Structure 1
């Protein structure tokens, strides 16, 4: 009886030890935020060489990801805009930290049109007038005589906020704008609407065409190519970010270091975004 009890005790001890070791080996890193960055983040997590690390990737918009970071429900926030002062203050009050900002890629903000639309270029000033309702017909831009149909990201999107701040100069969008949940949905809508126009990450421009963009009507219009974005010739580009509550450690640090390293930046280019400029 004592032998059986001893054997059982040893078996249970080894089993519990094995489960403990197994649990320690599997770390799940949660990443939540920018819809613009979802396809890039998913590709990063699939390509990360340490297969003992698991990932949970969700979108919802930069604002949603930042809220999750503040609430402690995600390890990493992916964002297509910088943190606002009020968000930094919330992190400071809750965690005694301003948060950690890590630039992970560069994105050109494309202006999408339907492939059947003959218009090839647009200026920043014209874009501002189009999305604030001051220009409502394609013929005012040199196109065909038809009403312009506006598509935008939703207001919890970092892309929406960037476009409003940098293109509209903080003016309100035309109330006629149709707000789409995610860039993929916006691109899909424009691909089916000859008279539609919208904006979003360069990597999503599949099934639609990019309009060349100039600073003003007399300036040279440029497409969001890597050369034009990295040389600052294309007028609408931005960094993409990871935000954390504190400096990354252990598996999270290994992942972040890999993302901004040579192999992670190769993935950036493969997906259709632009790698960080070499220092």
Structure 2
């Protein structure tokens, strides 16, 4: 008899626990990998305090996130890519009611192998490299420098693939329809630095927070104009409960504001209300 009572007590407790877990509602955020720097701690804090509504962030890139938003498999996208007319038309056709909020700015930098005997390049030179117009390093030097640069051979341009917001931002900044067909493409920022550090003839770009000074690379180009804006793109249709979306936005902005100095040390500039106007 006692065993039966214990069994029913355990079963009842498990049932109540299961019910409480079933009441949890998750909102999914997808987008550029830079989001791991800004969402991880926020989501942990928010989920610890919220009994029902929870959030989860996965990377995968801005473009992947936008497609998922259109399929309504995610609720929010973090994107370093500005929406183009094609994106807007697709979102409209899917009847996605979108709210877009600029939240951060981040520098994009170009890096090369540290042994490359070139101190820096300019935007015009980067466009020539990325487009494939300039194919060899000797083309970048003076007559005296060409023999040394010739040892570095053919230029290998390393780019993030089209899933990533940085890809779209850099392509737009260079005013190119696409990069050279022989470009090396990577899924993640960290892979760019790994590739450049292992290939002395390569040059590539990545978001500043991913740059590791201990690698065999150096920054060969950085400029204030090469600063990308990160956006929250929220599907309003996903937030049915009154005040649910507003609570998320306010909580997230408060988190960014209170952690702005820490984020700035990583190269991420928080946009305040005045700056976004």
Instruction: Please tell me the TM-score bracket, short chain as reference.
Output: 0.7 to 0.9
Aligned counterpart, 1:112? 111
Change over 3 Å in CA distance of 1:198–1:43 after alignment to 2? farther
How far apart are the structure 2 equivalents of 1:11 and 1:194? 64
How far apart are the structure 2 equivalents of 1:23 and 1:129? 56
The answer on whether the counterparts of 1:112 and 1:198 sit within 8 Å (CA) in structure 2 is yes
Unaligned runs of 5+ in 2: none
The answer on whether the counterparts of 1:91 and 1:245 sit within 8 Å (CA) in structure 2 is no
Aligned counterpart, 2:123? 124
The structure with the greater share of residues assigned to helix is: 2
Equivalent in 187, 192, 204 of residue 193 of structure 2: 187
Q: Which stretch of the first structure deviates more once superposed, 245-254 or 269-278?
A: 245-254
| Residues 243-262 of structure 1: pairs in structure 2 closer than 5 A | 243-246=233-236, 250=243, 252-261=245-254, 262=257
Aligned counterpart, 1:73? 73
The answer on whether the counterparts of 2:29 and 2:56 sit within 8 Å (CA) in structure 1 is yes
How far apart are the structure 2 equivalents of 1:94 and 1:235? 34
Equivalent pairs counted in the alignment come to 251
TM-score (norm 1): 0.77
The answer on whether the counterparts of 1:105 and 1:276 sit within 8 Å (CA) in structure 2 is yes
Displacement after TM superposition at 1:14 (Å): 8.3
How far apart are the structure 1 equivalents of 2:94 and 2:108? 33
Change over 3 Å in CA distance of 1:138–1:45 after alignment to 2? farther
| Residues 27-176 of structure 1: pairs in structure 2 closer than 5 A | 27-46=25-44, 48=46, 50-52=48-50, 54-95=54-95, 97=97, 99-142=98-141, 144-145=149-150, 146=152, 147-167=154-174, 169-176=175-182
Unaligned runs of 5+ in 1: 214-221, 223-233
Displacement after TM superposition at 1:47 (Å): 5.0
The 3-state SS of whatever aligns with 2:108 is strand
